[in-house]
Every structure is written in structure tokens, then in C-alpha cells.
Amino acid sequence: MIILPAIDLKEGKVVRLEQGDFNKETVYSSDPIKTALQFENKGASWLHIVDLDGASEGESRNFDIIKKIRNKTGLSIQTGGGIRSINDVEKLIEAGIDRVILGTLAVKNPEILSDIIEKFGSDKILVSIDAHDGKVATSGWKETSNLKVLEFAKMLEQKGVKYILYTDIKRDGMLVGPDFKGLKELKQNTELKIIASGGISSINEIEKLNDLNFYGVITGQAIYKNKIDLKAAIKKVGDQDS
């Protein structure tokens, strides 16, 4: 299982939000590149970057910083936030991004999702399923659709999606543990490679996800608050991309 430390960018700074609330923000660093290098030095092979400004406003606001992180580290990078078109995806892939995260676009324009997968391949695309009371949220978590999580996941699988990221919004940034029930339901009913996110608070939870054979796990708040030693966690699970 791969462990992806998270960098959430807002106005060029590394921040964490509680439950996706932009009014509950903690700034952890004004130097995202330094933060990424620290993660790499601790043994991370992948990095998860979210452009919060982009997610909220519908267009990328931190592209230059993301590109600098790409150029100054050897990390594999997945990133999302504000990606609303094929051109947005192409721009990131041309900049060297390994996997582009789609959220709102996949919900509101599923026909474009099919075109994107056809053009770039399923290995380059990850769809983020952000859950709020069992429904899929969009637009930086400010809107909730009528789509049920499992129904949406099955639709994605039919369209050729290979990777998904599942986040329980109520748990995100709260250090209360991931939504094991929701994660297991997705795993039992699809063949998707699932990355777990939201609420990760301990190495024990990471080990449990690894034992359940999940593809990956994202951890942010727990690292920044020293609840999880990233180097020790990677050593525990091996950080294998399969």
C-alpha cells in the first residue's frame, strides 16, 4: 500500500482545513516545496496535492507552485482542485504530474470524463469521491449532489476509471479515524483501486487499511500534528505501488 502525505495549498501556503471548512484553517508552512522535500526525505514515494483555491473557485490558482514541487522533487505526484476541462488535465500532465484528480467534473460532466480517460488513459486519472451523509459532494465540498456514493463508484468503473479516492468529509481533518464501513462497501462491490482519506489518526489505522488490501492512504493532519511518524509508517507497510 502506498502512503501519500498531503499538501493542501491555499494562497501559496500549506494549510489544513477541518471538515473542508475554509473558515477552519490552520497554516502549517509558507514553503510548500520545503514541505514536499521533507516528505521525500522521510521515504515517501507519492505526494497528494490539493489546490484548495482551485477547488473553491473552479480554476487552478497554485499551478506554478505545483510545477515547482514537480521539478524539485523525485516524488510521484497526484493533484486536483479546479480541474474542469480536458485542457486543464492536459496542462498538468504536460507539467509532469503523474495522476490528475477529478471531482466536480466527474459528477457534473461524466461525458467529458469518458473523453479524458480515452485520451490520457486510466492510469493518469483518479476520481475523488467526497462523501457527505452517503451522498457525493462537489465544488470544494460546498455542494452536495443526489448521487449515492456506491452508485457513483459503479458508474465510474463502467466508464473505465481505475483509481478512486474516498473521503468522508465529516472526518477530514478531525483525527477520528477513516470511514471503514464506507471503504469496505466500496471495496466489496467494485474492482477499483481505492485510496482512503479523511480522519486518519494513527499508524494502527494505516496498518489496518494495509491488511484490508487497500491501494493507498492519504494522511495530512496526523503528520502535521505529529500523531503519525511518516517515516515509521512507511517502514511498517512498505509503501508499495501496485
Give catalytic residue positions: 8, 130
Q: Are 61 and 82 in contact (CB under 8 A)?
A: yes
Handedness of CA 94, 140, 14, 8 (dihedral sign): negative
47 contacts 77 by C-beta, under 8 angstroms: yes
**Of 90, 51, 54, 92, which Cα lies nearest the Cα of 70?**
92
Strand partners for 162? none
Closest CA to 132 of 19, 25, 7, 16: 19
Helix 63-72 / helix 32-41 crossing angle, nearest 10 deg: 30
Nearest to 159 by CA among 111, 203, 120: 111
Contact (Cβ atoms closer than 8 angstroms) between residue 81 and residue 53: yes
